[in-house]
Amino acid sequence: MKNTSKIFLALALTGSLGVSAFLLSSQASSEKSTNPAPKLKLSDAPVSRDTRLTTSFAPVIKRVSASVVNIYSTRTVKENLRTMPLMDDPFFRRFFGYEGEDPRERGPRTRQEQSLGSGVIASEDGYILTNNHVVEGADEIKVVLADDKKEYEAKVIGTDPQTDIAVLKVEDGKLPGVTIADSDKLEVGDVVLAIGNPFGVGQTVTMGIVSATGRGVGILGQEGYEDFIQTDASINPGNSGGALVDADGRLVGINTAILSRSGGNQGVGFAIPINLVRFVMDRIIRDGKVSRGQLGVGIQPVTSELAKEFNLPADQRGALIGQVLPESPAEKAGLKEGDVVIEFNGKPVTDSRHLRLMVAQTAPDTKVALKVLRDSKEKSLTATLGELSEKETAKGMRRSAGPESAQDTLDGVEVADLDSRVRRQYDIPDNVRGAIVTNVDPESPSYRKGIRPGDVILEIDRKAVRNADDAVKLSKNLKDSALLRVWRNGGTSYVVVDSARQRK
């Protein structure tokens, strides 16, 4: 049976009941901000977890509902009629009001598009939280309070597409700010309430539990930062940017997406934890942009296969370092390829995604303590984080001529030396040393593990590969498996390749 489940990120309603499904790229200003710090109401105690069930959440809803608002945004959309083949048909020209003329000669047409989402009043002095995709590209944003239907014009203080967070501000003295909890203290099974304006029907409350925490589902792309709270509380189009609160009515997350085959709620919804939201909000309000820490490493999960090659327990947690960038904070701290980071600033690291989040949520120039496993032994290091910048990516990929064959475990892989022509063709830096893969048999174990033409083999079983001859010689002595370190698209990672004999 084919799995047809899809992630629906853009839950803001557009037009009447159409779903907006795109991401743009508005950013907070890079200039230093002059915005005042928000006046937040914080409560970091964990929710009570006695086994008694309440018969009503009405008192909780009365406290928090005034803090959840409707957000209406309007933007101008350009339509290029030249790309609309229907305009070749005179019937459709008349239908769209272009009888007797070719509208494509007029150039792009503009129209106004309206979106509806939700938001949360984060502070009494008018800061409002919502999703980036609710307000992105908007020419005008209006905020409507739930209790007295009072309407305000809102200013975008800043947005962060990488977490799908936007910070707005309205000027009106004092607003009913929500109480903010510590989302790190949420546990699976805690009762949560989702509040928003689904389908534009008006403020609606749904109840469920925390189904999971720390979810990463890929909806924000490779550059996004995902640490979602998963819940079965109903979330639908129009709920975007609304509140996920605990049983005490404290804000624990901002609702943002659902996993669904139909586009409607099927019990798998996602909210951005408020601790991550607060980090983004604080940076936007204080600095005018979201500055993130950078360690300067390429990391990957510790799979059972990799754990075996590094003599670690099969269930070892942490992040395996596949690359240490030159002159990076990691290199200066003494980190090496093959280290497994198991603690960051005293907190356990569960996997590579978790470490990436922890580093990104730490301010640049912060000194951090790291605990790593190196050759199965613990080692403590200290690093001073840099500031995250744009990643470089490699361009282009095609086969080289004159390959040699690597045998035994790497049977089916053909390699060649790295010369100046090959480096120019594949955009391989001069400091990369190894053997370039020129051909891979689709039936080979290497192909099944993702080895492709254009990859550069840097190491085989922790031994350096300087050229194609080294790769061939080292591969002849392999038995059941090989631990490769491979350069690809500007980064390096480890890959375990089983022998052909093991696959039979």
Given CA atoms 444, 445, 448, 450 in this order, what sign does their dihedral have? negative
What amino acid occupies position 268?
A: V
Distances, alpha carbon 71 to alpha carbons 172, 203, 271, in Å: 16, 12, 18
> Rounded to whole angstroms, how far apart are CA atoms 504 and 501?
5
Given CA atoms 229, 234, 239, 243 in this order, what sign does their dihedral have? negative
What amino acid occupies position 302?
A: V
- The values of phi and psi at residue 87, to 5°, are -70, -5
Phi/psi region, residue 402 (left: phi>0; alpha: psi -120 to 50; beta: rest), is: left
> Rounded to whole angstroms, how far apart are CA atoms 62 and 365?
43
The encoded tokens of residue 217 equal: 């589902």
**Pairing relationship of beta strands 179-180 and 41-42 according to DSSP bridges:** parallel
Task: Find the catalytic residue in 73, 115, 240, 493.
Answer: 240
Other beta carbons less than 10 A from residue 355's beta carbon: 23
Contacts of 91 (CB under 8 A, 6+ apart): none
Q: What does the DSSP assignment read for 68-112?
A: EEEEEEEEEEEE-GGG-GGGGSHHHHHHTT-TTS-GGGG--EEEE
Contact 274, 243 (CB under 8 A): no
Task: Find the catalytic residue in 115, 125, 133, 411.
Answer: 133
Task: Find the catalytic residue in 125, 164, 232, 455.
Answer: 164
Burial 93-132 (b: 16+ CB within 10 A, else e): beeeebeeeebbeeeeeeeebebbbbbbbbbbbbbbbbbb
Residue 481 annotated as catalytic:
no
Q: Is 62 helix (H, G, I), strand (E, B) or coil?
A: helix
Instruction: Identify which of 245, 210, 189 has the alpha carbon closest to the alpha carbon of residue 50.
Output: 189
> Rounded to whole angstroms, how far apart are CA atoms 349 and 364?
19
Residue 184 annotated as catalytic:
no
The encoded tokens of residue 70 equal: 């409707």
Residue 240 annotated as catalytic:
yes
* Residues catalogued as catalytic: 133, 164, 240
